Amino acid sequence: MSTAASRAVFRVPPLATLTAVVVAVGALPFATGAPWFWLIYLVPVGIVGWVLRRRTTVDGDAVTVRGLLRSRRVPWSEISSLRLGQKSRVSAVLSDGAELPLPAVHVRDLPVLAAASGGRVPDPTALSTTPE
Q: Sorting pLDDT into bands at 50, 70 and 90, what band is 34?
A: confident
Decide if 85 is inside a domain. yes
Rounded to two decimals, the pTM is: 0.79
% of the chain surpassing 90 pLDDT:
63
Decide if 131 is inside a domain. no
| CATH code at position 13 | 2.30.29.30
Domain total in the chain: 1
Secondary structure element (H or E) that encloses residue 47, with its range = helix 42-53
What gap in Å lies between CA 64 and CA 74, rounded to an integer? 6
DSSP designation for 116: H
**Cβ contact 93:102 at 8 Å:** no
Could you give the 3-state DSSP secondary structure of residue 15?
A: helix
Domain holding 56, by residue range, is: 4-116
Decide if 22 is inside a domain. yes
